[in-house]
Structure 1
Amino acid sequence: MKKVGVVGLGNMGRGMALSLKRAGFDVSGFDASQDSVQKLAAEGVKPCASIAEMTGAVDVLILSLPTSAIVEEVVLGAGGVATNAKRGLIVIDTTTADPNSTRKVAAALAECGVGFIDGPVSGGPKGAATATMTMVLGGAEDHIAAVQPVLSAISAKQVHVGPAGAGHVTKLINNLLTGVHLLVTSEAVRAAEAAGVDKTRLIEALSGGSGKNSATLTNYPTWILNEKFDSGFTMKLMRKDMRLALELLRSKNISAPVANEAGRLWAKSEESIGDAEDFNRIVQFVDTH
């Protein structure tokens, strides 16, 4: 499986396409933005004029898209993957998506003889560009084995967590924890500063103790303390992931008072932090009501 197509050439898709190219794959790219397509064409990624053109030409198709609705349109819509795929194609969806939508897409593709893996990623644009991401995978073992060289070319670690949909369940739970960690760590930082403790030294201390979490280990040192706020992941996307995670918990009748409060705060932050802002800006949000 040497011919790989990437649909969605934003921060993540671009990095994956270039990582595949470096690994020796024949890589094609498609995006709604022709500017994005042409920029990658200059770096050796073959431009495709349509999803139909790409789908009929590749062995593996990677989706890097913002939402489940867009994934469904790309796969099931007119001129989409389902109506143009050759049997034996394997689709890898790296979107952080609704697991119910994922299972719907997987079932539709199975009827066309197309394999489907939900493989959401962690590591951000830098991880995509350097092939150091972690992927959580949902799908059949034989499909995952068939595309292992592709997975290894774009990520440093892969964990198979179950059948189709399981990858997206796991990623939503991961992002829920990230959202909670950022909120509670920001409260801890404000409390320590009010008590006279330097926040930089606080984060260093917490990261070596039992209170360490993703915010103390990664977010604060990389994007917050230096006020760069340039992780490449937006408030809009994180609010979407928090909403999907809470919908998942509610659908399974899970008691989750802490998660629900975190979800309320992320939703309320929309009043003062714009969708396009970096998601780490949540540490600047204070609920005054």
Structure 2
Amino acid sequence: MTERSSLSVGVVGLGAMGGGMAAHLTASGAETHGFDLSEEARTRLGDRGVAVHDTLSALAEAVDVIVLSLPKAEHVEAVCLGAGGLAEVGRTGQIVVDTTTSMPDVSRRVATALAGRGMAMLDAPVSGGPSGAASGGMTMMVGGDGDALDRARPVLDIMTATVVHVGGSGDGNIAKIANNLLCAAHLLTTAEAMSLAARAGARPESVLEAVNAGSGRSGVSQVNFPRWVLSGAYDSGFTMGLMRKDVGLAVALAKEHGLDLPISMATAEIWRESAQTLADGEDFNRIVCRIDKALYSE
């Protein structure tokens, strides 16, 4: 059993991911505070034992570690650098752990600003979805100062199963963008391979078992396909809109560095065009329907 953290922690953003993190931290015995603009979210997490606050400044005053779980980079900038943001209301010695999938330049800019207040910033996006957030089973990819990471470890060890320190500020987001680009591509390539198998007369479930014992396996073939695709469940908690956003971050990063990545760009185009038939709120695994609607639809 993970030992209780002696650090107080506040979670900003109590949606599917942040709410799961806050509830798990509370259930694990950590002193956990929460803030969200939504009164419904505050009430829901308050009912689960999280000490919720009506303002960001009240939360910042109460905790040692502040975990951000926000939709996009612009929300991170607003919470950290905007009027009444953490750069104004935070305290010297506090550590901000940003689990948002953001852009590395944003993470570096925010880290520099917070350092001017004597605060540390870790860009620490996570993989594992809402179920991982609720169970402490996430993988965290961390960019930032190693000493700050060591100080935050008691909290992170409750929240995650694996922490990988990738490098300096911004590097955690580079790793997460690369990870999600691969996931987006693997969903398409695995869907094509299983469609090929089915049309050639083999059972996709059996071929998938063989692939997962061979060199073609991936996290998508090992987890997504049996759990959410071939089962027809499509309830991972991660949406088409979120994956489109993350693929878009990969495209922007590639363009920023003048890279010619034809497979990645083809992947991005399929995800972009899928908006015509798959709404942002749909489960992201439904992208496989673009490959073979008859095989993968419920």
Q: Per the shorter chain, which TM-score range?
A: over 0.9
Structure 1, residues 151-172: CA drift from partner, whole Å, max 9, x if none?
A: 1010011010111100000000
How much is the aligned-residue C-alpha RMSD, in angstroms? Answer: 1.2
Number of the residue aligned with 1:67? 72
Match of 1:273 among 272, 278, 285: 278
Name whichever of 209-218 and 62-71 sits farther off: 209-218
1:76: Cα distance to partner? 1.1
In 1: Cα distance, 2:164 partner to 2:7 partner: 22
- Structure 1 outlier segments of 4+, above 3 Å: none
Mapped pair 1:242 → 2:227: no
Q: Counterparts in 2 of 1:1-289, with a 5 A limit?
A: 2-286=7-291
In 2: Cα distance, 1:228 partner to 1:266 partner: 20
AA aligned opposite 1:234: T
SS at 2:122's partner residue? strand
AA aligned opposite 2:194: V
Unaligned runs of 5+ in 2: 1-5, 293-298
Structure 1, residues 61-83: CA drift from partner, whole Å, max 9, x if none?
A: 00001100111111111121111
AA aligned opposite 2:25: L
SS at 2:11's partner residue? strand
AA aligned opposite 1:127: G
SS at 2:236's partner residue? coil
In 2: Cα distance, 1:246 partner to 1:207 partner: 29
In 1: Cα distance, 2:124 partner to 2:161 partner: 13
In 2: Cα distance, 1:166 partner to 1:98 partner: 9
In 2: Cα distance, 1:220 partner to 1:23 partner: 31
Contact kept in structure 1, 2:123 and 2:142, CA below 8 Å: yes
Count of residues paired in the alignment: 287
In 2: Cα distance, 1:49 partner to 1:33 partner: 9
In 2: Cα distance, 1:88 partner to 1:210 partner: 46
Quote the sequence identity (%).
Answer: 45
Q: Tell me the TM-score normalised to structure 2 length.
A: 0.94
Contact kept in structure 1, 2:183 and 2:220, CA below 8 Å: yes
